[in-house]
Amino acid sequence: MFIKDLLIKKERLVSFEIFPPNKNFSIEKLYNVINKLSDYNPDFISVTYGAAGNRNYNYTLEIASYIKENLGIESMPHLTCITSTKDKINDTVKEAVDKNLKNILALRGDLPDDPDFDFPNPLQFEYASDLVGHIKKDNNICVAGACYPEGHINSSSFKEDMNNLKYKVDMGTDFLITQLFFDNNYFYNMLEEFDKLNINVPVMAGIMPVTNSKQINRIANLCGAKIPNKLIKLINKYENDKKSMFLAGTNYACEQINDIIDNSSSSIHLYIMNNPQIAKGILNNISI
């Protein structure tokens, strides 16, 4: 099913984001995780594509297909374009269609760290909007895009990023998922900006519970999310107590989600870091 139709049919969706296997996380372990996640009835599960320095692109479609075919849960592979040729993108989209996948999260991808990186020449997909337009041109697929409540780190201003986002939506983006954020005011401010710019597609708030004090600084640095004092205090208090950090971090995320439910019509996308306990901890404590 197209997720854009689910977003119309149901008042509020809850989805999970998972990542493919890496050197610390085997495919067998991941399938176990996915099987457990089905107990929590997510509306869909999205699967990242080479995110956060992981260059393992091979499993994304396979995992998305497993979720849909074996568990009967809608799925959405992510697809990045900045380092890809048109042929590679066409092959990947065709494979997704052949696997009966109906949704794709179209992304630019992070710029490679290597200043001498050999980009495809000509560069056919400089921005996610190029990918959105390309997929939509020849395929009946629901296409999602990313948005950034604090502005994207490569943009010189929030305003500039919002204008670029408006163009991405006009190119055919069916709905948006936000980057993680820890202060809801950024999210509400972005929704106000959407109203001004006539960005009318549904928005899913991307929430990541801080359950591990070491990982959070790296993630926040990577995406530029600011960590409010209240959360810094919790991280400092529980940095050597894993169990309490897990509880405090999921509670903080639940407070964020319940506030979003009270103040907007947005759906919720959970960055669960391949951990079913995070899904459980959140879903037991939110008012959806």
Catalytic annotation on 17? Answer: yes
Candidates 31, 127, 158, 188; binder of ligand FAD (CB under 6 A) is 127
Binding to ligand FAD (CB under 6 A) within 7-36 occurs at none
Do residues 146 and 177 touch, judged by C-beta distance below 8 A?
yes
Candidates 20, 21, 42, 109; binder of ligand FAD (CB under 6 A) is 109
Binding to ligand FAD (CB under 6 A) within 135-154 occurs at 146, 152, 154
206 makes contact with ligand FAD (CB under 6 A): yes
Do residues 248 and 236 touch, judged by C-beta distance below 8 A?
no
Do residues 54 and 83 touch, judged by C-beta distance below 8 A?
no
Q: Which is nearer to ligand FAD, 74 or 161 (CB)?
A: 161
Q: Which is nearer to ligand FAD, 224 or 247 (CB)?
A: 224
Q: Which is nearer to ligand FAD, 80 or 250 (CB)?
A: 80
Candidates 49, 181, 194, 238; binder of ligand FAD (CB under 6 A) is 49
Q: How far apart are CA 92 and CA 105, in angstroms?
A: 13
125 makes contact with ligand FAD (CB under 6 A): no
266 makes contact with ligand FAD (CB under 6 A): no
Candidates 78, 202, 216, 274; binder of ligand FAD (CB under 6 A) is 78
Q: Which is nearer to ligand FAD, 2 or 127 (CB)?
A: 127
248 makes contact with ligand FAD (CB under 6 A): no
Candidates 84, 92, 129, 184; binder of ligand FAD (CB under 6 A) is 129
The label of the residue with tokens 């320095």 reads: 53
- Residue 182 to residues 155, 206, 223, 253, Cα–Cα distance (Å): 20, 10, 12, 8
Q: What are the residues binding ligand FAD (CB under 6 A)?
A: 48-51, 78, 80, 105, 107-110, 127-129, 146, 152, 154-155, 161, 164, 167-168, 177, 179, 206
Active-site residue numbers? 17
